[in-house]
Amino acid sequence: MVDALRVGIAGIGTVGASVVRVIADKQAELARQCGRPVTVTAVSARDRGRDRGVDLSAAHWFDDSVELAAKADIDVFVELIGGDEGPARASVKAALEAGRHVVTANKALLARHGVALAEIAEKKGVLLNYEAAVAGGIPVIKTMRESLAGNTVNRVFGILNGTCNYILTRMEAEGISFDACLKDAQRLGYAEADPTFDIEGNDTAHKLSILTSLAFGTRIAADDIYLEGISNISQADIRAAAELGYRIKLLGVAQRTDSGIEQRVHPTMVPTASVIAQVHGVTNAVAIETDILGELLLSGPGAGGNATASAVVGDIADIAKSRPGFQHGPVFGKPARELKPYKRAKMRAHEGGYFIRLTVHDRVGVFAAVAKRMADNGISLESIVQRAPETNGSDIKTVILVTHETTEAAVRKAVDAITKDGHLTDKAQVIRIERAD
């Protein structure tokens, strides 16, 4: 029989413990599928005494993850520490330079240093697998890197953060505020004590930057993403979207244009009848549009111990199935040194138009002034609705505009002009609309 694949894991938190448990529980099945046993022989974590609910007695313990990566008697180093610098980066680099395969769930690390790490892996002839870094248990990396060979990807987009999707789902279903939903998400463990990274779109941006590289053969450019989170989404927006036939989702979108690659993360109104609008709760979904296949939608659990562990174990199994002398494919679909520099697309008209909500003083001429500012900036309106105040006697009204195809620059310029005119009582809300076609 082929020797067992020896696995070292750095980071025995929720995901790490789940990986250990799955490998132990599925030992016989993994051996049958991979043609060899898979065993955890070394681990590293900050606290040796913590009860993690799994048996680690047979594993060699390392206090230093870099030492585990470089010196332990292992074939595969699994990084579940997190963070784009420090021990995570140092240990992954050490493992690759030592000629060991690496599996990671660390999207932040890949977004910052993925290309450089890929160059080391390809030079050393080892695998750098990262299925768990994007969309949890959904096999989107394998799909894009292997299954879509021959396809030209034109667009990739999706719901890539379960925390945000959970909050927006509950806001719509229960009519409660963003703050109340966020507190519940933290209580249930869906959101961190400091949720900024999730709710302001950074987590989605890191994942999108990796998908962009896979889709378009470009170097990762996480800092070149238009970024907007969901913290300013209100019940007024949720209700207005529903009345117009839309649902609000935080989407990450990357697409090919004539002038370059467009990357953006922001709240988006999608038609309620569309498939992406039916993705609720902590579920993730990724849509890939290609010239041959058309549109492919992958949906499933986007976070949590079991979902992430499933992806990590799948990556380990792929390594276990490989044999000495096997030529591994490039980390990002193309050799790292052949990835093209990222070229940011020029601003262009957004086909789906925009939803604009304005809270204004209820006085003569405001409605006409708003429409004029839109016309001054070449914005054609599909609809304009003035709502009566919800509180009797209030001198505040809401104006809701839905535009035809126009540019972000035109919309922002018009809104700035309306703000300077002194008509607004609160900050304007602007949300992109994605059509169903």
Q: Which residues are catalytic?
A: 207
Residue identified by tokens 């599928």 is: 33
Name residue 435's amino acid: R
Q: What is the DSSP string of 202-217?
A: HHHHHHHHHHHHHHH-
Name residue 271's amino acid: P
How long a stretch of residues is the chain?
A: 437
Q: What is the DSSP string of 184-199?
A: HHHHTTSS-SS-HHHH
Q: What is the DSSP string of 355-391?
A: EEEEEEE--TTHHHHHHHHHHHTTPPEEEEEEEPPSS
CA–CA dist 223, 227 (Å, integer): 9
DSSP-derived letter for residue 306 is H
CA–CA dist 18, 92 (Å, integer): 20
CA–CA dist 166, 3 (Å, integer): 44
CA–CA dist 307, 284 (Å, integer): 11
For residue 371 the two structure tokens come to 């429409």
Buried b (16+ CB within 10 A) or exposed e, 263-280: bbbbbbbbbeebebbebb
- Of the candidates 187, 179, 183, 185, which has an alpha carbon nearest to the alpha carbon of residue 166? 185
Helix (H, G, I), strand (E, B), or coil: what is residue 336?
helix
